[in-house]
Homo-oligomer: A and B are copies of this chain.
Amino acid sequence: MKIAVLGTGMVGQALAGRLSELGHDVVIGTRDPQSTLARTEPDGMGNPPVSAWLQDHRAVGLATFADAVAGAELVVNATSGNGAIPALELAGADNLAGKVVLDISNPLDFSNGFPPTLFVKDTDSLGEQVQRAFPQARVVKTLNTLNAHLMVNPKALGQESSVFVSGDDAAAKATVTELLESFGHTDVIDLGDITTARGTEMLLPVWLRLMGALGTPAFNFKIVR
């Protein structure tokens, strides 16, 4: 499948790399490819610059948000929370129309330091904001409840765990579920319509505290039943 991955950070790299490895035709979307390629310093989290990552992943392309999405059948939104809607606006509503948007973004607000708070919650969610802003896109919120490495390699935990899908379009959720299963996920729980993204986005606060308590991001929620 032709897939655009929006965002050049840890999540974007993890998704793009794994999708490419699985044989998909992947293009990373960014605001300005030239300035993205010109960055030679690690990012704030210590990750290598995208330019170096791309040299190790020659099959993955780099393009503007608009060009990446125009050529794609499916779009992965791996931007930071407050970058999600601006990135999708640059991608263009017309380019997004009819396409599955696998939305991983979380509404984290770091403006008051760590731990971050959520800039939308409880009575609304970032997933819903994205769906409202792009009503012709087929938004599926998923993978926002575990770390980037485990999103695409859940078997690395050595035990089964769970992921969630939220969205209004059943066929889009089926497409996303198939992708998740191709990553190794074995328990994909359909929570319901896009309003259920409120639930998974509000998992972030306990996820962050668990990372602190456990001293590692290498964990995931399993719904035991």
Chain A residues with CB under 8 Å of chain B are: 117-118, 121-123, 157, 159-161, 164, 189-192, 196, 198-200, 202-203, 205-210, 212-214, 216, 218-225
Contact A191 B203, beta carbon cutoff 8 Å: no
Structural contact, B206 and A199, CB atoms closer than 8 A = yes
Residue in B122, B159, B208 whose CB lies within 8 Å of A118? B122
Main secondary structure of the interface of A (DSSP, over half): mixed
The answer to whether B221 touches A223, judged by C-beta atoms less than 8 angstroms apart, is yes
Closest B residue to A205 by beta carbon equals B199
9 A-B pairs (CB sep. < 8 Å) = A117-B122, A117-B123, A189-B213, A189-B214, A196-B206, A196-B213, A198-B205, A199-B207, A200-B206
Chain B residues with Cβ under 8 A from A190's Cβ? Answer: 213
**Quick one: closest B residue to A223, CB to CB?**
B219
Note all chain B residues with C-beta closer than 8 A to A221: 221-224
CB A145 to nearest CB in B, in angstroms, measures: 8
Most chain B Cβ neighbours within 10 Å, of A157, A202, A219: A202
Q: How far is the CA of A220 from the CA of B164 in the complex (A)?
A: 15
Measured between beta carbons, the chain B residues less than 8 angstroms from A203 are 202-203, 206
| A118-B122, A121-B121, A123-B117 known; A210+B222 contact, CB < 8 A | no
Q: In the complex, are the beta carbons of A222 and B225 less than 8 A apart?
A: no
New A-B contacts (20) at CB < 8 Å, excluding given A199-B207, A220-B225: A117-B122, A118-B122, A121-B121, A121-B202, A159-B224, A164-B206, A191-B209, A191-B212, A191-B213, A192-B212, A196-B206, A196-B213, A198-B205, A200-B206, A202-B205, A203-B203, A214-B223, A216-B225, A221-B223, A222-B222
- Given A117-B122, A202-B203, A203-B202, A219 and B209 contact (CB-CB distance below 8 Å): no
